[in-house]
Amino acid sequence: MTQQMPERIPGGGIDLSHLAGRGQTGSPVGAPGSGPGAPAGQAGQVVDVPSLVLEVTEAGFEQAAQLSTVVPVVVELWSAASPASQELAPLLEEAVRALAGRALLARVEAETNPGLAQAFQAQVVPTVVALVGGRPVPLIQGAASAEQLRELLAQLVQLAEQHGVTGRVNAPEADADAPSEPAEPVIPPAHLAAVEAAERGDYAAAVAEWEAVLQKAPADAEARAALVQMRLLQRLDGTTAEGIRSAAAEHPDGVDAQLGVADLDVSGGHVEDAFLRLLDLFAAASEDADRARIRERLLELFEVVGVADPRVIAARGRLANLLY
């Protein structure tokens, strides 16, 4: 079963950003390259590696996570007993090699590395997840065609670039005839204005464009996912982590201040902290208008993280209990 490439780096799964050396305190939140999950800048960096395809174990996984600040690291959880794993492996390797150093493949035998399989929430094998700056990006579970893999990895490279991961790895066996640039994913014409606004950092325009798309096509799930992401970036644009947290400390009962911290926490992957903060704030709020605002923000952050995420499901259940 293939899984559509998300328009954002989700908060689900493990957080390996501490291994990847992400971020500096004091960086402006919402600046270009500092969106949710954005790693420290590694623009143009070239790193020598022994191979574009690495066999990785739990003991050596930290090195792979560190490389994800330079290029996307595609993690393939496989099993020798799985026919689907055997079918997928050569196709995935070919797709990674075709990127000519813009991505790296880390192959993990799931049965002998159960900790990694559990950390990546692999329910079946093969499962393929990417790391971008230490943040997991789900790709596929089960079988996939060569064409699907090429398209997904092209989108992955584009997503990585949006989060400042623009380096390369150099391996001795890299194919000199491979294209230097991956094929760009096709952007639907209706989405083009919104995508261009986001790329130039004009989040207000991007929000307006995505809202216009949804007015014409309310069922466009891709547009809805992009809209909630852009709204989050718009709210954080021009702020700093220190400023947001200082305001929340000075106004512990202030709805605006606490909503700001929740946005910041989700952008940094601290999803449970964000949900707990807003649920406690909702429970303590006495004004209907405040409760409505908090509930609306919770529902939007649920979409940012992913409605199928276990933390979203748990938080949604508690919100339902508080409502009824």
Q: What is the pTM of this model?
A: 0.48
Backbone φ and ψ of 172, nearest 5°: -60, -35
Contacts of 77 (CB under 8 A, 6+ apart): 108, 110, 116, 117, 120, 122, 125, 126, 127, 128, 129
- Distance (Å, rounded) from C-alpha 109 to C-alpha 56? 8
Q: What's the distance, CA 273 to chain centroid?
A: 18
Q: Are 40 and 160 in contact (CB under 8 A)?
A: no
Residue type at 46?
Answer: V
The token duo for 28 is 């402006």
Please give the single-letter amino acid code of residue 133: G
- Measured CA to CA, the distance from residue 316 to residue 84 in angstroms comes to 35
* Residue-range domain boundaries for the chain: 17-170, 189-323
The label of the residue with tokens 């276990």 reads 310
Q: How many CA atoms lie within 13 A of 305 on its CB side?
A: 32
Residue of 86, 48, 88 lying closest to 67 (CA atoms): 48
CATH code for residues 17-170: 3.40.30.10
Neighbours of 281 (CB within 10 A): 23
* Cα-Cα-Cα-Cα dihedral sign, residues 244, 248, 254, 258: positive
| C-alpha count within 13 angstroms, C-beta hemisphere, residue 269 | 22
Q: List, for the chain, all residue ranges whose pLDDT scores fall below the cut of 70.
A: 1-44, 174-185
pLDDT at 33: 40
Measure the CA–CA gap between 286 and 232, rounded to whole angstroms. 26
- In whole angstroms, give the CA distance from residue 73 to residue 67: 7
Cis peptide before 6 (omega within 30 of 0): no
Per-residue CA distances from 293 to 20, 48, 67, 277 (Å): 35, 50, 40, 14
Q: 52 and 173 in contact (C-beta within 8 Å)?
A: yes
CATH 1.25.40 fits 189-323, yes or no: yes
- Taking the C-alpha atoms of residue 103 and residue 15, their distance in angstroms, rounded to an integer, is 19
